[in-house]
Structure 1
Amino acid sequence: MDRVCWPYFDPEYENLNLRINPPRVSIDNATCRDCTLVKVDSMNKPGILLEVVQVLTDLDLIISKAYISSDGGWFMDVFHVTDQQGNKVTDDRTFEHIENALGPKGHMMTNGVKAWTGKRVGVHSLGDHTAIELIGWDRPGLLSEISAILTNLHCNVVAAEVWTHNMHVACVLYVNDDTTGRAVEDPIRLSAMEEQLKNILRGREDDGKAARTSFSIGFTHMDRRLHQMMFAARDYEDGGVTEEKDNASAFRPVITVDRCEDKGYSMVNVRCKDRPKLLFDIVCTLTDMQYVVFHASISSSGPYALQEYYIRHMDGCTLDTEGEKQRVIKCLEAAIQRRVSEGLSFELCARDRVGLLSEVTRILRENGLTVTRAGVTTVGEKAMNVFYVRDASGNPVDMKTIDALRKEVGHTMMLNVKKVPTGSAETPESSGWGKTGFFFGSLFERFLA
Structure 2
Amino acid sequence: MFERNEEMDDEFAKLIRRVNLPRVVIDNDSCEAATVIQVDCVNKHGILLEFVQVLTDLNLVVTKAHISSDGGWFMDVFNVIDHEGKKIRDEEVINYIQRRLETADGSIPSQRGSVGLVPSEESTSIELTGTDRPGLLSEVCAVLTDLHCNVVNAEIWTHNTRAAAVVQVTDDTTGCAIEDRRRLAIIKEMLCNVLKGNNDLKTAKMTLSPPGITHRERRLHQIMFADRDYDNVERNEGTRVDDRSSRPHVIVSDCAERDYTVITMQSKDRPKLLFDIVCTLTDMQYVVFHGVVLTGRKEAYQEFYIRHVDGVPISSEAERERVMLCLEAAIERRAYEGLELELCTEDRLGLLSDITRILRENSLCIRRAEISTKGGKARGTFYVTDVTGNPVDPKVVDSIHRQIGRGILQVKWNSSSAKPHNENTFSYLFGSFFKARNFRLIKSYS
Q: What TM-score does the superposition give when structure 2 sets the normalisation length? A: 0.86
* Residues 1:374 and 1:19: Cα distance change in structure 2 (over 3 Å): closer
Match of 1:212 in 2: 205
User: Distance between the aligned counterparts of 1:423 and 1:285, measured in 2?
Assistant: 28
Change in 2 beyond 3 A, CA 1:290/1:338: same
How far apart are 1:111 and its partner, in Å?
A: 5.4
The structure-2 alpha-carbon separation of the partners of 1:257 and 1:10, relative to structure 1 and needing over 3 Å to count, comes to: closer
What stretches of structure 2 of length at least 5 have no aligned partner? 110-114, 419-446
Q: In the alignment, which residue of structure 2 is the partner of 1:446?
A: none
| Superposition deviation, residue 396 in structure 1 | 2.9
Deviation at 1:348, TM superposition (A): 0.9
Once the 2 structures are TM-superposed, how far is the Cα of residue 251 of structure 1 from its aligned partner? 1.1
Contact kept? 1:157, 1:175, Cα under 8 Å: yes
1:110-121 pair list within 5 angstroms: none
Match of 1:235 among 223, 229, 252: 229
2:121 alignment partner, SS class: coil
Determine which of 308, 313, 318 is the counterpart of 1:318: 313
Task: Indicate the SS of the match to 1:363.
Answer: helix
Q: Alpha-carbon deviation of 1:22?
A: 2.1
CA distance in 1, matches of 2:31, 2:86: 11
d(CA) in 2 for partners of 1:416, 1:123? 33
Equivalence map 1:151-162=2 (5 Å) = 151-162=145-156
Q: Please name the residue that 1:440 is paired with.
A: none
User: CA 1:312/1:111 → structure 2, altered by over 3 Å: closer, same or farther?
Assistant: closer
Q: Does the residue aligned with 2:176 lie in a helix, a strand or coil?
A: coil
- What's the secondary structure of 1:71's corresponding residue? coil
Residues 289 and 14 (structure 1 numbering): CA distance in 2 closer, same or farther, change over 3 Å? closer
Higher mean C-alpha displacement, 179-188 vs 242-251:
242-251
CA distance in 2, matches of 1:260, 1:110: 27
Are 1:109 and 2:108 matched, yes or no?
no
2:367 is aligned to 372
Equivalent position amino acid for 2:105 in 1: M
Q: CA deviation at 1:361?
A: 0.2
For residues 7-406 of structure 1, what are the structure 2 equivalents within 5 Å?
Answer: 13-103=12-102, 106=103, 108-109=104-105, 124-203=118-197, 205=199, 207=201, 209-217=202-210, 218-239=212-233, 241=235, 248-406=243-401
Aligned residues: 407
Task: Report the alpha carbon displacement of residue 19 of structure 1 after superposing the two structures with TM.
Answer: 4.1
Distance 1:362 1:277, change over 3 A: same
Shift of the 336–249 alpha-carbon distance from structure 1 to 2, 3 Å rule, reads: same
> Matched residues in 2 for 1:231 and 1:256: separation?
20
Across the aligned residues of Structure 1 and Structure 2, the Cα RMSD in angstroms comes to 2.3
Partner of 1:421: 415
Q: Distance in 2 between matches of 1:89 and 1:238?
A: 41
SS in 1 for 2:258: coil
Moved over 4 A (4+): 6-14, 110-113, 240-247
Counterpart-to-counterpart distance in 2, 1:173 and 1:144: 13
Distance 2:230 2:238 in 1: 14
- Cα 1:243–1:363 change in 2 (3 A) is farther
The superposition leaves residues 30-85 of structure 1 with CA deviations (integer Å, 9 ceiling, x where unpaired) of 11111000111000001110111000011000000000001100000000000011
